[in-house]
Structure formats: C-alpha cells, structure tokens
Structure 1
Amino acid sequence: MRTGAAAILGGLAVLVGVGGAQAQDVGGPPPPAASHAMAAAVTEWRTVPAANLLVIDTNRGRILVEMAPEIAPLHVERIRLLARAGFYDGLSWHRVIDWFMAQTGDPLGTGEGQSPYPDLTAEFTFRRDATMPFTPVAAPAGALVGFFHSLPVQTQPDEAMAMTGDGKVHGWGLYCPGVAGMARDEGNDTANSQFFLMRQAYPALDKRYTVWGTVVSGLEVVRALKSGDGDNGMVTAEPDRMTRVRIAADLPEVGRPVVRILDTGSAAFRAMADQVRAARGADFSVCDISLPVDVSQAQVAAGG
C-alpha cells in the first residue's frame, strides 16, 4: 500500500500584505523578524516561475506549491504530466493524519492505486554545486542547513566540493511544514502518482521519501482537510477532494496566480533568519523560519 509514511507531527501565520495584498508564510510560527521581510525592497522578492507553480484547487480552498525540478526532476515531471492530463481532478485526500500530513493522488481512493505510468526512481538526495542558489542559516558539525528557494534543505559544506569528482556535494530536502513529498510502497523506487503535503514537521522522513516542492500558499487549507480514522489515517466517509490541479503556466495568463516570495539570497532574508536563530537559541530549527509570500493575480497578459 502506498501509505506515504508512518503516523506523526506544523504552524502557519499571516503577515501584513505587501502593497496592500495579503502575504502568507511558508513553514512554522511567524518569525520575530517579520518586519525585516515586509520592509524589504521590491528587488528582494522573487517571483516563482509559472512553470514551477502547481495550483491545487480543493473544496476547502486553493493550495499553491512551488515545485523544485532541480531537486527531483523525475518526480516534478511526473506531477506536471499528470496535472496536464487532468489525472488529479476530483481525487480525494484519502489519508490525512492530524499533526502529520495529507495524502492524495490515488484514483482508487484506497491507498493502493496509481497512474498508468511506470514507477519512478527515488530522488531522496540531489547533487549541489557552487552555482546553485543555496542560502545557509545554520552550520551543524560537518553540514549546512538552509534554503534552496522556498525549500528547506541540508547539504554537505562547500569545502567538500573540492574533494569530489564532479565538484558537487550531496543535499536533501527537509520535511518541514508545507513540504511536498512523494508516497511510495516499501521499495525505494515505487513512487508513482500519490503525494503528500506536510501539516507539521517530521525529520524522520528525511532522505526516505522524495521531496519535490513546498507549499507557498494554502498551508491553512492543508491543515483544514478532513482527518482520517485510526492510526493509518484513512478517510472512510466523505473525504475532501481536489477539484482541479494545473500548472500555473497552463492557465490563462489573465487571472493566473502570481506568487512573489522573499528571496532567500537577499539581505532582508538573512536579517530575518539571524533574528529567528537568535530568538530560538539552542532550540533553533530551519523549520522555524517562515518565508513571507505575496499572492496576486495577473491582470494583463504578457506583452499586453
């Protein structure tokens, strides 16, 4: 059964919007340095490419996921393929565990279904070189923890690049609130169409399930989905559903969601991360950092 993982453990806040629009965070509780982010210059905000933005409409509201093809190219391409085919439309959130995650993507709604395409090779880790936009926020012994765009990751230090044949080091996504992972059977290379979105942090999943993106808006929707019964979290009666799932780039330009997120390479982000780390002290986790996000709708088509 493609159960995604064993039972487990999030936080969301809403910040004052930039330019009058509502800005939401990605991750845990609101950072004490939120004012740094909201005062950031326009140039310190990054627009998520429409080709990497997954728009999940549900009966509870909209969820926006920034996909990370640099981290898990095979899995992101599968999500794109299935979204464009309308495969996910109408499917239930069949396994939802409070303080853990919400799982979907099964056409049978039982945890045993999948798409007609072959299973995927696991992408539990990725290779990082010096050109990859990674911003460290902590340096535990022999490692770096930080962000690749909106995704929290852990990686070997840059110094190790000189000792590898390809000039790259290993990295992997961290299962903080909002992180998107791929469900699988017992075998590593058995992910197919089912995926899950984290309602809370659970580091025991790290390097065991492929990470392919991060919820950048709608974590409150993920947490509002109807929870299942018992330890396995299966929703047996009237589950919530995805009504439509599309890649933002495939939607009409006018009215398409546009997501701006604080650039993790910016001075404003570094100031915010420093303040959160100082406030948390020895208890600091990368999951404590919430990235401010501004969501709007395109009003004019490109070139219009």
Structure 2
Amino acid sequence: MSHDPENTLVMETTKGKVVIKLRPDLAPNHVERLKLLAREGFYDGIVFHRVIDGFMAQVGCPHGTGTGGSKHPDLAQEFNAEPHVRGVCSMARSQNPNSANSQFFIVFEDARFLDKQYTAWGQVVEGMEIVDKIKRGEPVRDPDSIVSMKVLADVA
C-alpha cells in the first residue's frame, strides 16, 4: 500500500510502529499542525495519558496529564462528517470547540457520538494491532509513550 509521504505520519511507540494517513481534505489546519509538531519533535517521549478500553487512546499532552498543549495557539475547530470508527484519529479538546492544540486520540471501537463534535484528521492504516496493546488507564500507571513521530517524507 503506497502512502503520500507528505500526508503520512510514522509513530514509533513503546509497543511498536503505527502509520497514520493524514486527511487534509477533512481538516487542513489540524493536519498542518500535526506535521509541524512532528517536525519539531514535540511528540517524542510524550505518554498516552488516558486510555479507555473499548473507546480510545489519548496522547499529546507535554505534562502527561491532559492539561497542556504546544507553544502554538489553539486551533479553530474543523468538525467534519468523518465517522469516529476504529482507527480514526481525532483531536482532543476542552469544552470550548476551538481549543484543540496538540492532544489527539485514536479510536479503538466505534464512537459515533463524537461525530461532528471533534475534528477527525486521520486514520491508522498500519499498526492498529499495536494501538490495541497500549496500556489502559485514566490516568495510566507507567504509561506507554510515543518514542518518535515523524512525517514519512522526512524519513524516506
């Protein structure tokens, strides 16, 4: 399966490699932010701080608590009709719809109640069985983490 190198993220986790196809057609600004943060090395070493069985794995807080974001400003929402089903990647946010910054989650099983309320921006295309192995918890004790996250174009 060939991937557009500029719109593919390669996420090495403590459990293995996950490949995410970015969807600039759904959320162009969020995709740009994720690529920027990956290129800055922002996600390297960040833990999966909130992992709920049958729901999702959340990552992207520099404090590992779900309270922080990057040095960049929050993003305006780009809600879309992409269904929140297994493997979909979407932005976490506070109650303010325009508060997404760096935290995102990967859906384990259908969570259609999130549709059009969170910005879906990608899909796991390889390694969903790796995502399934991420340690559960809220918060997670001794959590798994992203070892590195890169844009495929920068790796090839």
Per the TM superposition, whether the score is higher than 0.5 is yes
Amino acid at match of 2:133: A
Question: 1:147-195 deviations in whole A, cap 9, x for unaligned?
Answer: xxxxxxxxxxxxxxxxxxxxxxxxx110110000000000100000000
Structure 1 residue ranges, 4+ long, deviating more than 2 angstroms after superposition: none
The answer for the alignment partner of 2:43 in structure 1 is 88
The answer for the alignment partner of 2:148 in structure 1 is 244
- Report whether the alignment pairs 1:185 with 2:94: yes
Amino acid at match of 2:139: M
The answer for the alignment partner of 1:118 in structure 2 is 73
Mapped to 2, the partners of 1:47 and 1:241 lie a distance apart of 26
The answer for the alignment partner of 1:97 in structure 2 is 52
Mapped to 2, the partners of 1:111 and 1:204 lie a distance apart of 21
Unaligned residue ranges in structure 2 (runs of 5+):
none
The aligned runs of 1:208-223 (5 Å cut-off) are: 208-223=117-132
The aligned runs of 1:33-48 (5 Å cut-off) are: 47-48=2-3
Amino acid at match of 1:92: V
Q: TM-score, normalised by structure 2?
A: 0.98
The answer for the alignment partner of 1:70 in structure 2 is 25
Question: 1:41-88 deviations in whole A, cap 9, x for unaligned?
Answer: xxxxx6220111100001100000000011100100000000000000
Mapped to 2, the partners of 1:111 and 1:176 lie a distance apart of 22
The answer for the alignment partner of 1:227 in structure 2 is 136
The answer for the alignment partner of 1:14 in structure 2 is none
Q: What is the SS of the residue equivalent to 1:173?
A: coil
Percent of aligned pairs sharing the same letter: 46
Question: 1:112-143 deviations in whole A, cap 9, x for unaligned?
Answer: 01001100000002xxxxxxxxxxxxxxxxxx
Which of 1 and 2 has higher RCO (CA within 8 Å, sep 6+)?
A: 2
Mapped to 1, the partners of 2:54 and 2:139 lie a distance apart of 14
The answer for the alignment partner of 1:298 in structure 2 is none
Q: TM-score, normalised by structure 1?
A: 0.51
The count of aligned residue pairs is 156
Mapped to 2, the partners of 1:123 and 1:180 lie a distance apart of 13
The aligned runs of 1:1-304 (5 Å cut-off) are: 47-125=2-80, 172-228=81-137, 233-235=138-140, 237-251=141-155, 253=156
Amino acid at match of 1:234: P
Mapped to 2, the partners of 1:197 and 1:81 lie a distance apart of 19
CA drift at 1:234: 1.7
**CA RMSD across the alignment:** 0.8
Question: 1:186-212 deviations in whole A, cap 9, x for unaligned?
Answer: 010000000000111111000000000
Q: What is the SS of the residue equivalent to 2:147?
A: strand
